[in-house]
Amino acid sequence: MGKIINGRKVAKDVLNRVKEQTAFLKERGISPCLAVIIVGEDPASLVYVKNKQAACEKVGIISRRFSLPESTTEEELILLIKKLNADSSVHGILCQLPLPRHINEKSILRAIDEGKDVDGFSARIGFDRNDIAPCTPQGVIELLASENIDIKGKNCVVLGRSNIVGKPMALLLLLNDGTVTVCHSKTKNLIDITRRADILVVAIGKPRFITGDMVKNGVTVIDVGINRNADGSLCGDVDFDSVEPKAEYITKVPGGVGPMTIAMLMQNTIVAAMRSNAQN
Residues designated catalytic: 52, 96, 119
- Shortest distance, position 164 Cβ to ligand GUN, whole Å: 6
* Pair 189, 181: CB distance under 8 Å: no
Choose one: 10-18, 73-81, 92-100, 233-241; the region binding ligand GUN (CB under 6 A): 92-100
Inter-CA distances, 189 with 15, 99, 183, Å: 41, 36, 10
Of 3, 1, 2, 4, nearest in space to 252 by CA: 4
Residue from 38, 61, 84, 94 binding ligand GUN (CB under 6 A) = 94
Residues 164-183 that bind ligand GUN (CB under 6 A): 164
Instruction: Give the three-class secondary structure for 269.
Output: helix
Q: Is 97 in the site for ligand GUN (CB under 6 A)?
A: yes
- Shortest distance, position 243 Cβ to ligand GUN, whole Å: 25
Q: How far apart are CA 280 and CA 278, in angstroms?
A: 6
Q: Is 119 in the site for ligand GUN (CB under 6 A)?
A: yes
Question: What pairing do the DSSP bridges indicate for beta strands 33-39 and 62-68?
Answer: parallel
Q: Is 96 in the site for ligand GUN (CB under 6 A)?
A: yes
Please identify, using beta-carbon distances, which residue of 135 and 199 lies nearer to ligand GUN. Answer: 135
Q: How far apart are CA 219 and CA 198, in angstroms?
A: 5
* Pair 92, 268: CB distance under 8 Å: yes
- Shortest distance, position 219 Cβ to ligand GUN, whole Å: 27
Q: Is 135 in the site for ligand GUN (CB under 6 A)?
A: yes
Q: Is 95 in the site for ligand GUN (CB under 6 A)?
A: yes
State which residue has the least CB distance to ligand GUN: 97
Q: Is 271 in the site for ligand GUN (CB under 6 A)?
A: no
Inter-CA distances, 205 with 159, 216, 238, Å: 10, 22, 10
Q: How far apart are CA 267 and CA 208, in angstroms?
A: 31
Please identify, using beta-carbon distances, which residue of 157 and 164 lies nearer to ligand GUN. Answer: 164
Positions that interact with ligand GUN (CB under 6 A) = 94-97, 119, 135, 164
